[in-house]
Amino acid sequence: MNILPLFILIPIGAAFALSTFDILKQERKKVLVSNITAAAACLALTVLAVMQIGKTGTFEMGGWSIPIGISLVLDGFSAPVLVITGLVSLMCAVFSFSYMDMYSGREKFFSLFLLMVAGMNGLVLTSDIFNLYVFMELAAVSSFALVAYGTMKEELEAAFKYLVLSGVGTVFILMGIALTYGHTRNLSMVFIYNALSSGSAGSGMYLAAGFFMVGFGIKAALIPFHAWLPDAHPAAPAPVSAMLSGVLIKTAGIYAMVRVLFLLFAADLSVASMLLRTLGVLSLMIGVLLALGQWDFKRLLAYHSVSQMGYIALAFGIGTPLGIAAGLFHLLNHSVFKSLLFLNAGAVFYRTSTRDLRDMGGLNAVMPVTGYTSMIASLSIAGLPPFNGFWSKLLIIIAAIQAGYLWLGLWAVLGSILTLASFAKVQRYAFVGEIKDKFKEIKEVPLPMAFSMIFLAVLCVLMGILLVPGIRAVVLDGAAEVLLNPSNYIRIATGGMP
Amino acid sequence: MNNMPLAYGLAMILFAVGLYGVVCKKNAVKIIISLLIMENAVNLFILLIGYRKDGIAPVMVKGQEASEFASMAVDPLAQAIVITSIVIGLSIVALMIAIAIRLYDRYKTFDTSKMKDLKG
């Protein structure tokens, strides 16, 4: 039996089931049942995704073959992204068990949460550019509602800003799809490859690529288009911020952008790579410089998301097999340590009710789990050995130098040093040093929150093993094969037939 | 088909008008309306891509040859895309209006320049 549709069916089914739990009268029962359903769905997704590593496959929805129907395609690029989506959503769901006690309506929260997961899984798997747009909107609409979840002034304002900018991005993407369809008369990625590889791309394709670049740039929050992210991510509840920064901007932003750009410019990648490298370096430097001056813990993390997205875009822009493997590796690592950092910020907020770094201090003494896991995540994002962030940044720098972009390597090192400075500030003000009197009585966070933080911290330490040659060949190198060589993708998408 | 470039250009101008509204207007309701204009410009553009002069509706009647039908009908896929995108656009606009109303409750104004709790 083909399990690819399950990646969409499980979360959508669970989301609809959750929305019926409103009939349970007791609040306690409602919370318990919602928790169990959400965690079970995320766990199932994670297990299924881990089983798919290194495999390829295709599923024709409704039994219609392309180009009439839409097919789901699993390849070396989508499998690792599916795993990380499942894993981060599982950890965020477990974290929400305790954290979401601050808010009401547990079943509605998890319903939206799982719809977002379904949208992300769908857009990772689909092989049809219009279907990609539909799934992207499914994920985006649920994320708008989740950002506004608290319905206070700040949340509403952030959600409105996010909605408007993301709506503009959506319209740009749709225009890009329209131009691509007008040029190739097809929406299936396989047939677009075929149509574009035979003839010249033409100026129409450059126009389409420009629209796609702006649209996905807004979704990925690359620098000229980043304005919504530092508002939207801090305003959301902590597990939602972790999901948004951890996986949503990657799947809906970078993943979709790389897929579509490498598809449109399959014949000649030089323009697309140049654009990705430029946006990447800009985001990487400006993002980290803006982060340095922030005192709001979550806002600082949000600016670092912009900066780290720059690293990923830069790595994909290098365009060599090593560069693409490095980009994918950094994407996975960033999902883990950035969601961990957002969960840490949430844990601190849960106990101290503040996000201002100047109000904290010496929290290591009373919240050791939060303190030490955030230390691991900070060292990881700053790129210190032996944590995962070091290995992926090293790989990006090696790939840049190998491809002859010495300056890019230099920028990457400089960005990494500034990141270290910024996280030294976080550790210094929030976690080490003298504890303030008003915080002497607080306790460590409850078990579910501590569990998900410890699990992600362990992953931060262990993910370096993805670089061991045998494992790397299975997990990371598959992406370059399908991105740089469309014939491989066509072979997978058509089920092995030429 | 002589007027097609003109029609494409007009759709693009409508798109630019909407973009101007989203970027420059300060009133939340006007921003929502501008976004709607942009969406409809794109919908119009997609329909124009599938358009054929003197084409028939893409519904095949009994006894019609498939090749003859294909040479006469307008492109049905473009119409299917537009319907889907209208539905998605509706959900986004509904959510935007809901949030705008809640914002009005909190601030007693639709002027986005007066909503300044978030900096930058």
What are the pLDDT digits (tens) for B38-81? 999 999 999 988 888 777 888 878 877 878 887 788 888 889 99
pLDDT higher than threshold 80 for residue B116: no
In chain B, the residue whose alpha carbon lies closest to the alpha carbon of A130 is: B81
pLDDT at B13: 94
* Best to test chain A binding among B12, B20, B27, B81 (most A CBs inside 10 Å): B81
Question: Who among B96, B106, B117 is closest to A163 (CB)?
Answer: B96
Question: Who among A134, A164, A167 is closest to B84 (CB)?
Answer: A134
b (16+ CB within 10 A) / e for A172-194 = bbbbbbbbbbbbbebbbbbbbbb
Whole-angstrom distance, CA of residue A118 vs CA of residue B43: 26
Domain ranges of chain A: 1-264+474-498, 269-467
Axis crossing angle, helix A486-493 with helix A189-198, rounded to the nearest 10: 140
The answer to whether position B119 is within a domain reads: no
Name every chain B residue with its beta carbon within 8 A of the beta carbon of A130. 81, 84
Q: Are B96 and A134 in contact (CB < 8 Å)?
A: no
Name every chain B residue with its beta carbon within 8 A of the beta carbon of A156. 99, 102-103, 106
Q: What is the CATH number of the domain that holds B15?
A: 1.10.287.3510
pLDDT at B120: 44
ipTM of the complex: 0.93
Whole-angstrom distance, CA of residue A170 vs CA of residue A187: 17
Whether residue B91 lies within 8 A of chain A, CB to CB, comes out as: yes
Question: Who among A161, A171, A178 is closest to B38 (CB)?
Answer: A171
C-beta of residue B113 within 8 angstroms of C-beta of residue A160? no
In chain B, the residue whose alpha carbon lies closest to the alpha carbon of A138 is: B88
* Best to test chain B binding among A168, A184, A191, A203 (most B CBs inside 10 Å): A168
pLDDT at A423: 93
Name every chain A residue with its beta carbon within 8 A of the beta carbon of B42. 171, 174-175, 178
C-beta of residue A174 within 8 angstroms of C-beta of residue A140? no
pLDDT per residue as tens, chain A (498 positions): 688 899 999 999 999 999 888 888 888 888 888 899 999 999 999 999 998 888 888 888 888 877 788 889 998 899 999 999 999 999 999 999 999 888 888 889 999 999 999 999 999 999 899 999 999 999 999 999 999 998 888 889 899 999 999 999 999 999 999 999 988 888 888 888 888 876 655 677 888 889 999 999 999 999 888 888 988 888 899 999 999 998 999 999 999 999 999 888 877 788 888 989 999 999 999 999 999 988 999 999 999 999 999 999 999 999 899 999 999 999 999 999 999 999 999 999 998 888 888 888 788 888 889 999 999 999 999 988 889 999 999 999 999 999 999 999 999 999 999 999 999 999 988 888 888 888 888 888 899 999 999 999 999 999 888 888 888 888 888 888 888 888 888 888 887 544
Whether residue B100 lies within 8 A of chain A, CB to CB, comes out as: yes
Whether residue B37 lies within 8 A of chain A, CB to CB, comes out as: no
Q: Are A141 and B22 in contact (CB < 8 Å)?
A: no
Q: Are A160 and B103 in contact (CB < 8 Å)?
A: yes
Whole-angstrom distance, CA of residue A408 vs CA of residue A414: 10
Widest CA span in chain B: 66
Question: Who among B85, B92, B102 is closest to A156 (CB)?
Answer: B102
What is the domain extent for residue B47? Answer: 4-114
Whole-angstrom distance, CA of residue A308 vs CA of residue A287: 8
Q: Under 8 Å CB-to-CB from A33, ≥6 apart: which residues?
A: A21, A24, A107
How close is the nearest chain A Cα to the Cα of B11, in Å? 11
Q: Are B39 and A151 in contact (CB < 8 Å)?
A: no
Q: Are B107 and A153 in contact (CB < 8 Å)?
A: yes
The answer to whether position B64 is within a domain reads: yes
Q: Are A141 and B84 in contact (CB < 8 Å)?
A: no
Name every chain B residue with its beta carbon within 8 A of the beta carbon of A148. 99, 102
In chain A, the residue whose alpha carbon lies closest to the alpha carbon of B31 is: A164
Whether residue B11 lies within 8 A of chain A, CB to CB, comes out as: no
Q: Are A163 and B99 in contact (CB < 8 Å)?
A: yes
Q: C-alpha distances in angstroms, A436 versus A296, A366, A367, B115?
A: 18, 11, 13, 34
How close is the nearest chain A Cα to the Cα of B57, in Å? 19
Name every chain B residue with its beta carbon within 8 A of the beta carbon of A151. 102
Whether residue B110 lies within 8 A of chain A, CB to CB, comes out as: no
In chain A, the residue whose alpha carbon lies closest to the alpha carbon of B12 is: A175
Question: How many contacts does A have with B, using Cβ atoms within 8 A?
Answer: 90
The answer to whether position B120 is within a domain reads: no
Whether residue A67 lies within 8 A of chain B, CB to CB, comes out as: no
* Best to test chain B binding among A116, A146, A156 (most B CBs inside 10 Å): A156
pLDDT-derived band at B1, boundaries 50, 70, 90: very low
C-beta of residue A304 within 8 angstroms of C-beta of residue A287? yes
Q: Are B92 and A154 in contact (CB < 8 Å)?
A: no
b (16+ CB within 10 A) / e for B17-39 = ebbebbeeeebbeebbebbbbbb
By the 10 Å C-beta count (0-12 exposed, 13-18 middle, 19+ buried), B98 is classed as middle
Q: C-alpha distances in angstroms, A96 versus A372, A451, B120?
A: 20, 12, 29
Q: Are B45 and A154 in contact (CB < 8 Å)?
A: no
Whole-angstrom distance, CA of residue B19 vs CA of residue A169: 11
pLDDT higher than threshold 70 for residue B2: no
Domain count, chain B: 1
How close is the nearest chain A Cα to the Cα of B63, in Å? 23
Q: Are A154 and B118 in contact (CB < 8 Å)?
A: yes
